[in-house]
Chains A and B, each alone.
Chain A
């Protein structure tokens, strides 16, 4: 038994908390390690040469990057002509900065002003993107969540709307870009519209499906307790599917982020996408990486925070640790028990 439990690979098995923590760290450390190997070990990849001394080669300049083949060819020519050879060290292309360079850029991105006046700082660009997402997701949810719940509850609404929704969701949201600009102008509204279009149709179907998965016996139990249609909807179906709906919303919010980049290309490019494009134009790829990683961090942190909040506000889940309100309720019950005569 002991030997069995110490195995790392057990189908549907459990891992000790220590092992889980180790693997969580490894899941981030391994890609960073691979990136570091490619960046710092000279004989891994490094297809170019960074010139430290151009020697006799007329068109090489100090600190420029040349293909290794060109470098060897020119040095062979120099050797034949008896001229001093160019000197350089292996380097990666400019679009693959090393981890420490990105780390520096990450810090610099928030501390250095934009190159041109009128351009936005990194944090301003991010804030603009966050606003687009928030508006798009909010508008989509205000319409999509109630409609999804109605579709999941009443076959009437399901048959009335779902076939059309199903049809529309196959149309890629970016396809509506030109239309959105024509109707809503070039600034934020068309971008928000793209996120709404991209999220809404999926949202209705996902939420309707979740609502349909509620155990029908709970609805029957409520009926035998005297619940009418409205009470079934608001006191059984809504609370009964709340946890799953909350988790659906977390996943849908992730999808909204994927529509963001497309949305920001539409009309006047803005937000984090504009920042990334500008940095790429200036060939500051450190900043490009920093911005992309920033999006990842924001999405990931948002999701984790929502997961923690979810455990607090839904104390009836098996996995939930008692939150603040729950602990108070349990303490109150204990006090009452102690107050009772034995």
Chain B
């Protein structure tokens, strides 16, 4: 890595710079002001301030225990904040609501409902008649490519399919912001890659802002407009990185200099400068002489 000559991750091509200028001109959907969370006398989040613009896709990364999950759960209203404010569309967050859809890491489809009924769930709570909700649910299921499975129960679907239904269910409510808490954490790498490209397609077609928590840096760089890097002790914002990789994105871009430079910068932020040397183990021999592997 150190021998590789990478450009600065701050260098943006004119097209990318123009894109960011356009993005920042859009209205602010999520406004976080000095958010602090103290849990059992431990500061889990320390004075976090940021703004997410309409149609932006922002990933949150950081070492385990940095409070990235707590952060997104506070935005969802599933956890309370200690001080500061979280505004969605200018209104302060006060408990969970359908304007902030969420996709969880665990599979949270209702096992007793078919795919169609799962997607209809939020629509019917919102007061839609079942015929209206049904035809709308069908459109969302088609959008995530699961039209054939609308009468299936969740246990009949694979992990990736379940998460696609979960995304359809959350989007059907037309949330102002879609919160995704490590949604692909439990999927195998192949499925995960496919899910990432599904998400990018959906995001292009639907008017939605996405806040996405992950611990996979490739995923973060591939998906994001900007990446929020959180640190531990104290859990503050280390940097809000503007990803210089042009859109539309694809897996092939993962070896381009901009991509690698961005990823390298995040690694540096999370692990500290330079490659973190693995600790040397004590030399204890438990093999026969001449049986060396190296």
Contacts and interface: CB of A to CB of B under 8 A. Distances in A.
Contact of B126 (A226, A242, A243, A333): A226
Nearest to A331: B151
A131 interface: no
A218 B78 CA distance: 12
Given A218-B110, A221-B102, A242-B112, A227 B125 contact: yes
Contacts of B122: 225-226
Contacts of B100: 224
Contacts of B77: 223-224
Interface residues of B, number: 33
Q: Say whether chain B's binding surface is mostly helix, strand, loop, or mixed.
A: loop
B257 interface: no
B169 A225 contact: yes
Interface in B153-171: 153-155, 166, 169-170
Contact of A223 (B96, B112, B148, B155): B96
A220 B102 contact: yes
A266 B253 CA distance: 82
A235 interface: yes
B111 interface: yes
Contacts of A223: 77-78, 95-96
B97 A240 contact: no
Interface in B206-232: none
A239 B269 CA distance: 46
A310 to B, nearest CB: 13
B61 to A, nearest CB: 22
Contacts, number: 79
B106 A239 contact: no
Contacts of B126: 226
A217 interface: yes
Nearest to A333: B151
Given A236-B110, A316-B155, A225 B148 contact: no
Nearest to A329: B151
Nearest to A317: B155
Interface in A214-271: 215, 217-218, 220-227, 231, 235-236, 239-240, 242-243
Given A220-B78, A329-B151, A337-B148, A226 B108 contact: no
Interface in B76-96: 76-78, 95-96
Q: Say whether chain A's binding surface is mostly helix, strand, loop, or mixed.
A: helix
The residue in B78, B96, B112, B114 that gathers the most chain A C-beta atoms within 10 A of its C-beta is: B112
Given A223-B96, A224-B78, A226-B126, A316 B101 contact: no
A159 B155 CA distance: 35
B150 interface: yes
Contacts of A236: 110
A226 B179 CA distance: 14
B172 to A, nearest CB: 9
Interface string A324-338: 000001101100010
Given A240-B112, A318-B155, A337-B148, A225 B98 contact: yes
Given A217-B106, A235-B121, 6 more contacts: A224-B78, A224-B101, A225-B170, A239-B113, A240-B111, A240-B112
30 contacts: A215-B106, A215-B108, A217-B104, A217-B108, A220-B104, A220-B108, A221-B102, A221-B104, A222-B110, A222-B121, A223-B96, A224-B77, A224-B96, A224-B102, A225-B121, A225-B169, A225-B170, A226-B97, A226-B173, A227-B125, A231-B125, A235-B125, A239-B110, A239-B112, A239-B113, A240-B111, A242-B112, A243-B112, A318-B155, A329-B114
Interface of B: 76-78, 95-98, 100-102, 104, 106, 108, 110-114, 121-122, 125-126, 148, 150-151, 153-155, 166, 169-170, 173, 179
A-B pairs, top 9 by smallest CB distance, nearest first, are A226-B98, A225-B122, A223-B96, A221-B108, A224-B102, A333-B151, A316-B153, A239-B112, A217-B108
